[in-house]
Amino acid sequence: MEITGAQAVMKSLEMLDVDTVFGYPGGAILPAYDPMIEAGFEHVLVRHEQGAIHMAEGYAHATNRVGVCIVTSGPAATNLVTGLTDAMMDSVPVLAITGQVASTAIGSDAFQEADVTGITMPIPKHNELVTSAERIPEAIKEAFHVARSGRPGPVLVDIPKDILSAPFEWHWDDRVDLPGYKPTVRGHGKMVREALDLIASAERPVIYAGGGLVRARAAVELERFASLLGLPVVTTLMARGVLPDTHELFVGMPGMHGHYAGVRALQESDLLITLGARFDDRVTGKLAAFAPEAKIIHVDVDPAEIGKNREVDIPIVGDVKVVLEQLLTVLEDKQRKGQFEELVPDATAWRAHLGALKSQHPLRVDQPEQGVLKPQSAIRAVYDVWGDEAVYVAGVGQHQMWAAQHIPYTRAGQWINSGGLGTMGFAVPAAIGAKAGVGRDVPVVAIDGDGCFQMTFQEIAAAVQHDIPVVFVVINNGYLGMVRQWQSLFYEDRLSQVALPQDLPDLLKLADAYGIPGFRIDRIEDLYTTLEKAHAITDQPVLVECRVHPDEMVFPMVPSGASNEELIESAEEWYARVAEQQA
Amino acid sequence: MNHRHTLSVLVENKPGVLTRIAGMFARRGYNIHSLAVGPTEDERVSRLTLVVGTEAVQLEQIIKQLNKLVHVLKIVELEENAAIEREMQLVKVNADPAIRSQIIEIAEVFRAKIVDVDHDSITIEVAGNPSKLEAIVELLQPYGIRELVRSGTIALARGTRSISDGSKLRMRQVS
Ligand SMILES: Cc1ncc(C[n+]2csc(CCOP(=O)(O)OP(=O)(O)O)c2C)c(N)n1
Ligand SMILES: [Mg+2]
C-alpha cells in the first residue's frame, strides 16, 4: 500500500498505541496535520510548544507510557529544548516529532530552518534527522523503543517537509534493529548475592530510593524487599510515594529540603542500598562529607551512574524492578531452606533511633496569627480535600518543596515535578498532560507558584478547549519565594528583583477570562470551605488562588554547598550560626 | 594522575556520529588528545581511535558515556604494550641543494619517504609511533621546518583477536 510520509507518521503512532498527542501546527509539519484529521488518537492543541513537551512529560510521568508531542520547524522546535532537557534530567520517556524544512533546502538558511538535531545533540537520549520516507516507520518505532527502555528519556525525530509528502510503500516490522543499544536488564547474580551478604552484616542500613523505582514501577517489589529485611527507606524528591509515607519503614525525604530524619538516615548510615538514585548534589550536599561511613550498593539501569559521583562497593547494573525480583528470589529460596534469618540485619536499634528522630523533628508549621494563611497550611489542606486518590503536580520553588514535604504520598506516579532541571512553568502543562493520561476518575491538582504560573498559564486555554479538568492551585506569596529565601539567608536579606505584585495579574479575572471557576483564599478561616467548593467541580478546570503570607521559608535546609551535617531547621538557627562565625 | 589512554571505538556509520562523540567530550569537559576516524572491513561500521589523557575514574566515565550513545557499538581500551599504534606525519623542511643530502640521510634512518622535492625544500612522509615522529622533528628542527601536519593515532591490538569479534549487528525484538 502506497502512502505518504505524513500518513506513515500517523500509522506508526497508531501501531505504537498512542492515544494522545500534544502539538502545534506550522509550515514544515503541515503535511502531518492533514492525515491527523482521520488519525486514531487525540490531538491537544497547546498554546506554546514548551507546553506541548511538558504535557507529554506529564502524560508520561502519570501513565508510565511514552508522551508524544509534535511541532513544526525552527522556532517551534527550539521551543522544545527546555522540555527535552527536563525530560532527560528526570528520565521521562518522551517522543518529540519536529517538522524540518525540505531536505533540498537544508543548510540554506531557509525560512524557519534551524539545525534542530544539531541544537539538541547533547540533550535528549537520542535524535535523528530522517532522510527518506521509507525510514519513517523505523525511525519512530526506534525512537519509542529508546525512549521507554533502559533508562527512559526523550528522543527527537526531525522530518523534512518533502519527506512527509513523499509517497512510499508502507511497511511495519515489530522488531527493532539497534545493534549499539542493548540496555542490561538482569543484575549480575554474584553481585546480587554479595549485596545480600553485605546487607546482612550492616548495622545501620538504609534504602536510598530514587526516581528509577518510579520509572520501573517497582513499588510492590520495594515494599516486599524492605519489609522482609526490615530496611528503613528514604524516598528522594523523584521517588516520593514509591514507598508510602505511611509505611512503618518510611523515614523521610533526604536532600536539601528533606525531612530531618531523611537527611540524618543517610548521614549516619553504614550501608546505603541505592536503588535507581544518582547521588545528585541536592541529595548529597557537599559530596566529600556525604554519608561518610556508608558502604554503597548501587543498582541502576544506567551503568554511567554507577561510580559517577560516589565510589561503589557493590555495583549492580540492571532494571531495578528485575534486580529486586532477583533479590527476592534469593530471599525466598533461603526462607524455604530455613537460612533466611542469617540474611536479616540486626537493625532494631537503628530503626528505633530513626523513629525517634522522626518524632523529635517533625516539619514545623508555626501556628499562624489569626487570619494569616500560611503556604504550608494551604498545601496540607489541598491534600486533606483532594486526598490520596489525586495526582499532585508541582512547579519549582518553595511551594514545590512544601508540596514534597507535607503531602504524605502513597503511590508511584502520584507526585510529579521537575527535579533535575528545576523548570519553572512545568506545573500547568504537566498537570494537563497528566490529566489527559489518567482520565476522568483521577483528580489532578497542580500546586504552582505565582512566578511559575505566569510562565505557562496560557495552557489553561488548552485545558478548557479540550475539556481536561485540572485543578490549578496557585500558592501566591507575591514573590519568587525560593530566590527571596536565598537572598534573605545568604545575601543579608538584600532583595533583588524578586517581588511579584500579588494582584498582578488578578487571578480571579484571569479565571474569568478563561471561562473557568476561580476562587481566592486569603484567610485560614476560609481555607477548607473554599477548597471544598473547588473540589465539588470536576467537569471543568478550576483555578484556586491561595494568597499566603510572603515571609515563610522552607526548612529543613542544607545551605547550598554545605555538608548535610549543617542541616538547619529554622532561619534563627542559620542567623545564629552566621553570627557565631563572624564573632 | 593523568595517563594517556587509547580507545578503539566501533560506531555505526551514521551521519553526525562523529559530532555526537566530539560533542559528548566537550559537554562533559573531557579532553581528546587525538582522534582518527575511518572505514573498517564492514562498510556499515566506522572505527575511531581516540587518545585521551585522564585518570582511571574519569576514563571509566568516558567509556560509559560513550557506550550510552546509540550509534556506538563497541569500545576497547588498547593497552600500550599490547597494541600497535601509528601516526602519520608530513614535514616540509628547508633544504637548499647544499644540505639536501643530510636531510635525506636523516629520513633514511627513520625509514621515512621523500615525497616531494623543490628548489629549497623537501617534504618527508614518516609513519610510526608518536615518539618516533617527535624524534625526527627534533633532528629536522635545526634546518627550519616550514610546515608540519600530523594525523591522529590509529591503533590495533597485537595478536589474532579482532575488536569486531562478537559484535555482529543483530536484530532485536521490541520490548
Ligand atoms: C525557568 C526558570 N527560571 C528561573 C529559575 C530560578 N528559580 C527557582 S525557584 C524560583 C522562584 C519561583 O517562584 P514562584 O513560582 O513564585 O514559587 P515560590 O518559590 O514563591 O513558591 C526561581 C526564579 C528556575 N528554576 N527556572
Ligand atoms: Mg511565589
For residue A402, what are the contacts with CB-CB under 8 A and spacing of at least 6?
A: A375, A376, A379, A475, A554
Q: Does B56 touch chain A (CB under 8 A)?
A: no
pLDDT in tens, B26-64: 999 998 999 999 999 999 999 999 999 988 889 999 999
The answer to whether residues A472 and A454 touch, using CB atoms and an 8 Å cutoff, is: no
Q: What pLDDT score does B2 carry?
A: 78
pLDDT in tens, B130-166: 899 999 999 999 999 999 999 999 999 999 988 877 6
The three-point CA angle A94-A100-A104 to 5° equals 145
For A150-189, the DSSP string reads SS--EEEEEEEHHHHH-EEE----SEE--TT-----SPPH
- d(Cα A317, Cα A40) in Å, to the nearest integer? 38
Together in a domain, A96 and A200? no
CATH number at residue A64: 3.40.50.970
The answer to whether residues B17 and B11 touch, using CB atoms and an 8 Å cutoff, is: yes
Query: Where among A117, A134, A169 does a domain terminate?
Result: A169
The proportion of chain B whose per-residue pLDDT surpasses 70, expressed as a percent, equals: 94
From the alpha carbon of A399, which atom of ligand 1 is closest?
A: 21
What average pLDDT score do residues A504-527 get?
97
Together in a domain, A441 and A300? no
Confidence bin at B171 (pLDDT 50/70/90): very low
Say whether pLDDT at A509 is over 50.
yes
Q: Which candidate from A121, A174, A302 shows the least CB-CB separation from B174?
A: A174
Question: B26 vs chain A: nearest CA distance in angstroms?
Answer: 9
For chain B, the DSSP string reads --EEEEEEEEEE--TTHHHHHHHHHHHTT--EEEEEEEE-SSTTEEEEEEEEEE-HHHHHHHHHHHHHSTTEEEEEEE-GGGEEEEEEEEEEEE--TTTHHHHHHHHHHTT-EEEEE-SSEEEEEEEE-HHHHHHHHHHHGGG-EEEEEEPPPEEEESSS--TTTT-----EE--
Ligand that lies nearest to the alpha carbon of residue A452, given by its number in the listed order: 1
Together in a domain, A147 and A210? no
Task: Identify which of A275, A283, A290, A291 has the alpha carbon closest to the alpha carbon of residue A259.
Answer: A283
What average pLDDT score do residues A127-143 get?
98
B172 vs A176: CB contact, 8 Å cut-off?
yes
Residue A348 included in any domain: yes
Residues in chain A: 583
Q: Which of A15, A41, A112, A340 is catalytic?
A: A112
Task: Ligand 1 pocket test: pick from A54, A374, A455, A483 the residue with the most ligand atoms within 8 Å of its Cβ.
Answer: A483
Which chain B residues are closer than 8 Å to A141 by Cβ? 174
Q: What pLDDT score does B166 carry?
A: 61
Exposed / middle / buried, residue B40 (Cβ in 10 Å: 0-12, 13-18, 19+)? middle
What average pLDDT score do residues A294-312 get?
97
- d(Cα A540, Cα A551) in Å, to the nearest integer? 33
Q: What pLDDT score does B3 carry?
A: 86
Q: Which cell is A329 given?
A: 528470589
Residue whose cell numbers read 546487607? A199
- My answer on whether omega of the bond before A556 falls inside 30° of 0, hence cis, is yes
A112 given a catalytic annotation: yes
Residue A434 included in any domain: yes
Together in a domain, A164 and A202? no
pLDDT in tens, A232-248: 999 999 999 999 999 99
- d(Cα B72, Cα B80) in Å, to the nearest integer? 23
Chain A, 421 to 450: residues with Cβ < 8 Å from chain B are: none
Say whether pLDDT at A368 is over 80.
no
Q: What pLDDT score does B174 carry?
A: 37
- Residue of B68, B72, B173 to mutate when probing chain A, most A C-beta within 10 A: B68
Q: Which candidate from B61, B64, B70 shows the least CB-CB separation from A181?
A: B70
- Nearest-Cα residue of chain B relative to residue A119: B23
Task: Identify which of A151, A158, A64 has the alpha carbon closest to the alpha carbon of residue A103.
Answer: A158
Q: Which cell is A528 given?
A: 477548607
A49 given a catalytic annotation: yes
A161 given a catalytic annotation: yes
Q: Which cell is A134 given?
A: 521509507
Residue A448 included in any domain: yes
Q: Which of A88, A89, A191, A482 is catalytic?
A: A482
Q: Does B171 touch chain A (CB under 8 A)?
A: yes
Please state the pTM of the whole predicted model. Answer: 0.96
Task: Identify which of B162, B81, B161, B92 has the alpha carbon closest to the alpha carbon of residue B129.
Answer: B81
Q: Does B73 touch chain A (CB under 8 A)?
A: yes
- Which residues are found with C-beta within 5 Å of the ion, ligand 2? A 449-451, 477, 479, 481
Ligand 1 binding pocket, CB closer than 6 Å: A 395-399, 422-424, 449-452, 475, 477, 479-483
Together in a domain, A382 and A330? no
Say whether pLDDT at B172 is over 50.
no
Task: Identify which of A421, A372, A418, A414 has the alpha carbon closest to the alpha carbon of residue A399.
Answer: A418
Q: Which cell is B162 given?
A: 579482532
Which chain B residues are closer than 8 Å to A181 by Cβ? 70
The proportion of chain B whose per-residue pLDDT surpasses 90, expressed as a percent, equals: 82
Q: Which of A11, A125, A141, A161 is catalytic?
A: A161
Q: What pLDDT score does B167 carry?
A: 54
φ and ψ of A404, to 5 deg: -70, -35
CATH number at residue A245: 3.40.50.1220
For A517-541, the DSSP string reads -EEEE-SGGGHHHHHHHHHT--SS-
Q: What pLDDT score does B57 carry?
A: 85
Domain B84-154 in the same topology as domain B3-78: yes
Q: Range of A445's domain? A: 375-552
3-state secondary structure of A217: coil
- Listed by start position, the domains of chain B span 3-78, 84-154
Say whether pLDDT at A227 is over 90.
yes
Residue whose cell numbers read 562529607? A289
Average pLDDT across chain B, whole number: 91
Nearest CA to ligand 1 atom 1: A424
Lowest mean pLDDT among A371-375, A422-426, B65-69: A371-375
Question: B155 vs chain A: nearest CA distance in angstroms?
Answer: 22
Residue A561 included in any domain: no
Q: Which helix (DSSP H) or strand (DSSP E) does residue A476 occupy?
A: strand A471-476
**What is the number of structural domains in chain A?**
3
Say whether pLDDT at A274 is over 80.
yes
What average pLDDT score do residues A8-37 get?
98
The CATH class that applies to domain B3-78 reads alpha beta
Residue A157 included in any domain: yes
- Return the exposure string of A286-314: e unless at least 16 CB atoms fall within 10 Å of the residue's CB, then b: beeebbeebbbbbbbbbbbbbbbebebeb
CA dist list (Å): A322 to A192, A213, B115? 11, 11, 62
Question: B148 vs chain A: nearest CA distance in angstroms?
Answer: 32
Question: B2 vs chain A: nearest CA distance in angstroms?
Answer: 18
Write the single-letter amino acid at B38: G
Together in a domain, A285 and A406? no
Say whether pLDDT at B170 is over 50.
no
Task: Ligand 1 pocket test: pick from A396, A456, A472, A557 the residue with the most ligand atoms within 8 Å of its Cβ.
Answer: A396
Together in a domain, A152 and A266? no
Together in a domain, A399 and A315? no
A304 vs B70: CB contact, 8 Å cut-off?
no
Second-level CATH architecture of B84-154: 2-Layer Sandwich (3.30)
Say yes or no: ipTM exceeds 0.85: yes
Average pLDDT across chain A, whole number: 97
Q: Does B15 touch chain A (CB under 8 A)?
A: yes
A482 given a catalytic annotation: yes
φ and ψ of A423, to 5 deg: -90, 105
Say whether pLDDT at B169 is over 60.
no
From the alpha carbon of A395, which atom of ligand 1 is closest?
A: 15
Residue whose cell numbers read 600500550? B80
What average pLDDT score do residues A157-186 get?
97
Q: Which of A49, A138, A305, A552 is catalytic?
A: A49
SS (H, E, C) A315-352: EEECCHHHHHHHHHHHHHHHHHCCCHHHHCCCCHHHHH
Together in a domain, A380 and A458? yes
Together in a domain, A132 and A272? no
